[in-house]
Amino acid sequence: MSGSTGTTTEPRRLRAAVIGAAFAGSLHAESLTATGDVDIAGVVSATEASRQAFVERFGGRGFATVDELLAAEKLDVISLALPNRFHADIAVAAAEHGVAVISEKPLAMNLAEADRMIAACESAGVPLLYAEQLCFAPRYVRVKELIASGSLGDVIQINHWERHGGPHARWFHDPALSGGGVLLDMGCHGIEVARWLLDKQPVKSVHARLGIHKHTDGVVDDHALVTLRFSGGSLAVVDSSWAAPGGIDERIEILGTKGTVSADLARGQSLLVYSDVGIDYAAEKVEHERGWFWVAHNEAHTWGWHGEFAHFVDVLRKRTEPIETGRDGRQVLEIVMAAYRSAAEGREVTLPYHSEDSTPIAPWLLATGAC
DSSP states of 142-161: HHHHHHHHTTT-SEEEEEEE
Rounded to whole angstroms, how far apart are CA atoms 274 and 228? 39
The Cα–Cα gap between 296 and 270 comes to 5
Instruction: Tell whether 130 and 268 lie within a shared domain.
Output: no
pLDDT digits (tens, 9 = 90+) for 76-115: 999 999 999 999 999 999 999 999 999 999 999 999 999 9
- If asked whether residues 152 and 195 sit together in one domain, one would say yes
Decide if pLDDT at 7 tops 60.
no
Number of domains in the chain: 2
Using alpha carbons, select from 290, 293, 287, 289 the residue that is nearest to residue 273.
Answer: 293
Task: Determine, yes or no, domain membership for 40.
Answer: yes
The secondary structure of residue 164, as a DSSP letter, is -
- Whether 216 and 109 share a structural domain: no
- φ/ψ (deg, to 5) at 162: -145, 115
My answer on whether 99 and 155 are in the same domain is no
- Burial classification of residue 9, based on how many CB atoms lie within 10 Å of its CB (0-12 exposed, 13-18 middle, 19 or more buried): exposed
Tell me, yes or no, whether 1 lies in a domain: no
Asked if residue 3 belongs to a domain, the reply is no
**pLDDT one-digit tens code per residue, 174-206:** 999 999 999 999 999 999 999 999 999 999 999
Whether 48 and 171 map to the same domain: the answer is no
How large is the average pLDDT for residues 281-308? 74
Report the pLDDT averaged over residues 123-147: 97
Residue pair 45/21 in contact (Cβ under 8 Å)? The answer is yes
CATH number at residue 153: 3.30.360.10
Beta bridge partners of 126: none
CATH of the domain at 83: 3.40.50.720
Q: Are 202 and 241 in contact (CB under 8 A)?
A: no
* DSSP state, residue 9: -
- DSSP string spanning 13-61? PEEEEEE--SHHHHHHHHHHHHTTSEEEEEEE-SSHHHHHHHHHHH-SE
Count helices and strands (H / E) in the chain. 13, 15
Residue 314 domain flag: no
Q: How far apart are CA 74 and CA 142, in angstroms?
A: 38
Same structural domain, 118 and 37: yes
| 183 & 65 share domain | no
Domain around 241: 135-299+329-368
> Is 8 within the bounds of a domain?
no
Position 276 in a domain: yes
Longest dimension (CA), the chain: 75
Note the residue count of the chain.
371
Residue of 20, 31, 134, 125 whose CA lies nearest to 80: 20
Q: Following DSSP, what letter does each residue of 290-331 receive, concatenated?
A: SEEEEE-SSHHHHTTHHHHHHHHHHHHTTSS--SSBHHHHHH
Same domain (yes/no): 142, 284: yes
Higher-pLDDT residue of 7, 166: 166
Asked if the model's pLDDT at residue 266 lies above 90, the reply is no
Residue 286 pLDDT:
59
Residue 182, CB-side half-sphere exposure with 13 Å CA sphere = 30
Q: DSSP class of residue 63? A: E
Q: Is the pLDDT of residue 298 over 90?
A: no
Assigned domain for 310 exists: no
Q: Are residues 42 and 180 in the same domain?
A: no
Please, which pLDDT band fits residue 18 given cuts at 50, 70 and 90? very high
Sort residue 120 into left (φ over 0), alpha (ψ -120 to 50) or beta.
alpha
Is 94 a member of any domain? Answer: yes
pLDDT of residue 1: 36
Please check whether residues 182 and 54 belong to one and the same domain: no
**Cα–Cα distances in angstroms (integers) from residue 203 to residues 13, 131, 134, 225, 332, in the given order:** 40, 20, 19, 16, 10
DSSP 97: T
pLDDT at 61: 98
- Asked whether residue 20 falls in the same domain as residue 162, the answer is no
Same-domain pairing of 360 and 279: yes
